Amino acid sequence: MTAGSRGGQPRPIGDLLGGALRSLGVPSKAVTKRVLSAWERVSDPAWRGIAVPHRWMAGTLVVSVGSAPLRQELAQFHAERLLAALKSLLPTDPITALRFEAAGEGSR
């Protein structure tokens, strides 16, 4: 098959990768930067380095937490407030839920 029979000239993979990743729900670098910045604004300074946004999947921001007691505290007492604050700071980025997981849990 020639290049013309498949829709045009070949394109570098880098030109296609961004669209493919977004279609799979992987946020762009700009979105990631906005989410991390918003998290720093709404989270308690005492949590820095212990509770860190890890990934964003289908509207759910997954926060990696290095302390089991803090993970429980965040889920039970802070999740609703944090989610509302993030939604307010990121109106164009559809964060619909927060999930707190043990540090390293999502890398399995």
Q: What are the structural domains of the chain?
A: 11-107 (3.30.300.180)
The set of residues, in sequence order, having a beta carbon less than 8 Å from that of 7 and lying 6+ positions away, is none
User: If we measure between CA atoms, which residue out of 5, 12, 56 comes closest to residue 34?
Assistant: 56
- Choice among 13-27, 30-44, 48-62 with the minimum mean pLDDT: 13-27
Q: How many helices (H) and strands (E) does the chain have?
A: 4, 3
Instruction: Write out pLDDT tens, residues 58-67.
Output: 789 999 999 9
- Give the containing element (helix H, strand E) for 31: helix 29-42
Structure tokens at 68: 């089991």
Amino acid identity at 66: G
Instruction: Write out pLDDT tens, residues 67-86.
Output: 999 999 999 999 999 999 99
Rounded to 5 degrees, φ, ψ at 39 are -60, -45
Structure tokens at 95: 């964060």
pTM above 0.75, yes or no: no
